[in-house]
Amino acid sequence: DAGVTQSPTHLIKTRGQHVTLRCSPISGHKSVSWYQQVLGQGPQFIFQYYEKEERGRGNFPDRFSARQFPNYSSELNVNALLLGDSALYLCASSLQQNLPDTQYFGPGTRLTVL
């Protein structure tokens, strides 16, 4: 069975640009969450989506947005990129929305902002 997949693997952007990151959950999983992991730190929660609706949002500015599609895949968008947005962006999928539920992570997208 395929795990969580993310694209692209690596991305280099310049300040002020916009980026779109993509995630496909494990087959049958309806919940997708996004996390930002800065080098040397643990992942920080950005968003959770379940059944195409936002079900949770972390402490990130409005430059960050996301959506979930009918096939449960998801996109994370970041506008007006800052140097501090350089990080590994992780997507995690799980079966259910709000029960404590095991989340499985993808390999991440490494974003570098120059």
List residues near another protein by CB under 8 A: 4, 31, 33, 35, 40-45, 48, 55-56, 58, 90, 92, 94, 96-108
**Cβ proximity to another protein, 27 vs 98, nearer residue:** 98
- CA-wise closest residue to 2 among 26, 29, 37: 26
CB of 58 to another protein, least distance (A): 7
Q: Which residues pair with 90 in a beta bridge?
A: 35
Question: Is there a contact between 26 and 15 (Cβ–Cβ < 8 Å)?
Answer: no
Whether 15 and 114 have beta carbons less than 8 Å apart is answered as: yes
Measured from the CB atom, the residue of 22 and 56 that comes closer to another protein is 56
State in angstroms the smallest separation of the CB of 51 from another protein.
13
- Per the listing, tokens 């059944």 go with 51
Q: Which is nearer to another protein, 38 or 80 (CB)?
A: 38
